[in-house]
Amino acid sequence: MFFQKETERFVIKTLIEEDVGQEYLSWFNQKNVKDYIYYKLNEHDRFEDLKRYVAEKSKDKDVIFLGVFNKDNIKEHIGNIKFEPVDVVNKTAVVGILIGNEKWRGKGVGGEALDGAHSIIRNLGVVKVFLGVEKTNDKAIRLYERCGYEYDESNYLKLDLDQCYCMFKILK
């Protein structure tokens, strides 16, 4: 399925293999990305490995993988939001977000992009979204709190609570 949502500044759309470029690949060399993103690229063929990863996720019925693009320059890839897994039976999803384009960090991209992505997932019937965040990732924690996420005392995601918070948001 293809999804697309426009916000004030961004186009949030299904990420496809053709969206994978050298700039996207370069995000994985940034220290703060390495600290919090756990996907490891094949060191011998990083570009093709990333394209394969995006292609696989785009075909998975339990995944909604979205790219965030500049509305004024649609080729400018700013970040990604991935819902995995999406459980339409239980009306839940788990979300992760990466703002990889450094020049856009600290400019409200996360909140605006999450709002747009939430509307996409809500249209699929999902009413509760979970996420895990490392306790040391202060900027992400503040973003999630501003977006209405609450701390999940039940630890639905079964995270190591010494290192991570489990959070959730009820979509309205």
Q: Mind listing the pLDDT tens digit for each residue in 70-85?
A: 999 999 999 999 999 9
pLDDT of 39 > 90? The answer is no
- The answer, yes or no, to whether residue 31 has pLDDT greater than 90, is no
The mean pLDDT value of the chain amounts to 92
In this prediction, residue 1 carries a pLDDT of: 87
pTM of the model: 0.91
The three-state (H, E, C) secondary structure of the chain, written as one string: CCCEEECCCEEEEECCHHHCCHHHHHHHHCHHHHHHCCCCCCCCCHHHHHHHHHHHHHHCCCCEEEEEEECCEEEEEEEEEEEEEEECCCCEEEEEEEECCHHHCCCCHHHHHHHHHHHHHHCCCCCEEEEEEECCCHHHHHHHHHCCCEECCCCCCCCCCCCEEEEEEECC
What domains can you pick out in the chain, each with its CATH number? 4-170 (3.40.630.30)
* Per-residue pLDDT tens over the stretch 13-27: 999 999 999 989 888
pLDDT digits (tens, 9 = 90+) for 141-164: 999 999 999 999 998 899 888 999
